[in-house]
A and B are shown apart, each in its own frame.
Chain A
Amino acid sequence: AQKITQTQPGMFVQEKEAVTLDCTYDTSDPSYGLFWYKQPSSGEMIFLIYQGSYDQQNATEGRYSLNFQKARKSANLVISASQLGDSAMYFCAMRAFSFGNEKLTFGTGTRLTIIP
């Protein structure tokens, strides 16, 4: 079974500062993917960044980067130069790729609030 742990229920960050959202995962499957999604108050789940278990480099997408430490089973999201529009819920999720385990398992989320 897969498990995602997000230990920060809420965070307050000053605008323009960098922020790190923590995520640890647990799986026995060697082939998996890690995702970060943003969910604003409207409810839509917006894809931010993806890291495959065999990827050698940390994923980056604009202001988002994923700090992937495979041995520690952590996949922290780093947002550089935060903006007011970054205020939202952030979910870490993983998906294993063995048959029957391919569902997306989500963490409990971190509510990020950017302070002007």
Chain B
Amino acid sequence: KAGVTQTPRYLIKTRGQQVTLSCSPISGHRSVSWYQQTPGQGLQFLFEYFSETQRNKGNFPGRFSGRQFSNSRSEMNVSTLELGDSALYLCASSLGPGQGPSGANVLTFGAGSRLTVL
């Protein structure tokens, strides 16, 4: 069973540019969430999508956006990049809401997209 696939793995951008990151979830998983990891702030929740709808959103500026397609694949976009956006962006997939506190709620992460903003 293929895992969560994130592309690209590494990318370098300059301030003011925009970037799009892609995430393909595990087959059968319908929920995709995104996290930003930096040395200073740790792991922070960006947003979660289920059935093409954003269910939850973290405390990030509007420059951070995302979407989910009908095949559950998701993209996130960061516009007008700033130096502080340099981070590891992790995507995770799960079956979806309504599972309750059962083991079916495990989030499986991809290898991440490491973004460097110069």
Contact = CB atoms under 8 A, between A and B. Distances in A.
Interface of A: 31-33, 35, 37, 42-47, 50, 52-55, 91, 93, 95, 97, 99-100, 102-106, 108-109
A106 B45 CA distance: 9
B56 interface: yes
A47 B58 contact: no
Interface stretch (B61-69, B70-78, B98-106): B98-106
B110 to A, nearest CB: 7
Interface of B: 33, 35, 42-43, 45, 48, 55-56, 58, 88, 90, 92, 97, 100-103, 105-112, 114
A100 B48 CA distance: 10
A111 B107 CA distance: 21
A108 B42 CA distance: 6
